[in-house]
Amino acid sequence: MKYEKVVLVFPGQGSQYVGMGKDLYYADKHPSVRDSVREVYTKANKILGYRLEDICFTESKFKEIIRRFDEQVESFMSQHRKHPSTETNGINGKKHHLTNYLVKSPLDMTLYIQPAVFTTSYACYTALEEMCKDASIQLNPFKVMGHSLGEYTAAVVSGAMDFETTLGLVNYRAQVMSDAARERPRTKLMAVMDKKELNYNMIENLCNEYGQVFWALINSPRQIVVGGNEKKLREISRKLNKKGIYTKILDLDAAFHTPFMLEPGKKLKKKLDNITIYPARTPIVANAITDDATKEPIYLTEPNLIRREFSDQMRKRVRLKGGVEKVIKDGADLFIEIGPKMVSRFIRETNPNVSVLNVYDIKSLEETVKELRG
């Protein structure tokens, strides 16, 4: 193979899009790829109790299910209201249908995003694995890493966890994070971006000055994400905008990866304590746990450290930038993002000289395998 130290990178929430995985699912000219992808979705559907294809490939089928559910709820409520004149209205004289909360598709909802992204990422990985086999390429990654949720896919690929168990865990994680969002509706995440390197100290001082705002993700030298009280985030946003720094409140349910996620993290830890985790064959680059001396992300292979990482990660900073810098320092010569280039941008911003490939459809898969062959 052309490259010696390949790092596989898996994306997290925010990388989803309608149609993800569809091209590989219908890859009839590559039967082994198609069959491996379909097998992953079939396993996932049995565990989740619904068809991920209806969520990932098109929004129409799922919206029709939700619309029918809304009609049933409205019919039931109409029969039990005391005032017939308000039958067509909901709370405070306004219609409150479940479909009103589906801004675009189920892929806007944490409850569905996380299982969908995890499953699709793993399906894309199996597609890469199959095509590499067909091309007589031995895919033996140097390290695996994930961006938040992507760490769970990395754990499966590393051999530390099996797909079925991990999907159940991801589904539970999505549930407790969704519950936390309902309990804390006034918390959000905000991206902070610039064309040049950000002044980390200045942003840290602003967060400390306002309080209830914490660093959540360090993606690259030019982008971080902070999370906390939405009102305070908007005040910080105005100050940063005056300095020419771009900010954006993210369309996510709550302030993930901050102390606001302490309770969900505790719930996840209880779940993790009852799950079998094996020593990882391929080291996982930690998002949250750092070396006490160097403050760099560590490599995870021990089951207890992997458990700790997953529970800590919900309430601690995701250090993608630090992980990228560490593996490059240790000799990584290629990154392959199993996803649609979201994380690749952060990798290139961290080190513009590094090689980055992607796998998310047939064209990108073929191009990646061709490059690996050399």
**In 50-199, alpha helices (H):** 52-56, 60-80, 110-134, 150-158, 163-183
pLDDT score at 212? 93
Task: Tell whether 268 and 305 lie within a shared domain.
Answer: yes
Starting at the earlier edge strand, list the strands of the sheet with 213-220: 213-220, 223-229, 187-193, 246-249
Task: State the residue range of the domain holding 231.
Answer: 187-249
> Can you give the pTM of this predicted structure?
0.87
pLDDT averaged over consecutive 10-residue blocks of the chain (374 residues)? Answer: 94 91 96 98 97 84 53 58 41 40 62 95 98 96 98 99 98 93 86 96 95 96 97 96 95 90 94 97 98 94 97 95 98 94 94 97 97 92
Task: Tell whether 265 and 332 lie within a shared domain.
Answer: yes
Task: Tell whether 116 and 178 lie within a shared domain.
Answer: yes
Task: Tell whether 97 and 113 lie within a shared domain.
Answer: no
Task: Tell whether 85 and 207 lie within a shared domain.
Answer: no
Task: Tell whether 68 and 208 lie within a shared domain.
Answer: no
Task: Tell whether 78 and 206 lie within a shared domain.
Answer: no
pLDDT score at 72? 60
Position of tokens 């209201």?
81
Per the domain annotation, does 54 fall within a domain? no
Per the domain annotation, does 243 fall within a domain? yes
Last residue of a domain, one of 226, 249, 272: 249
Per the domain annotation, does 80 fall within a domain? yes
pLDDT score at 181? 81
Task: Tell whether 144 and 96 lie within a shared domain.
Answer: no
Domain tally, the chain: 3
Neighbours of 301 (CB within 10 A): 17
Position of tokens 């590094």?
354
Task: Tell whether 178 and 191 lie within a shared domain.
Answer: no
pLDDT score at 68? 56
pLDDT score at 110? 87
CATH of the domain at 278: 3.40.366.10
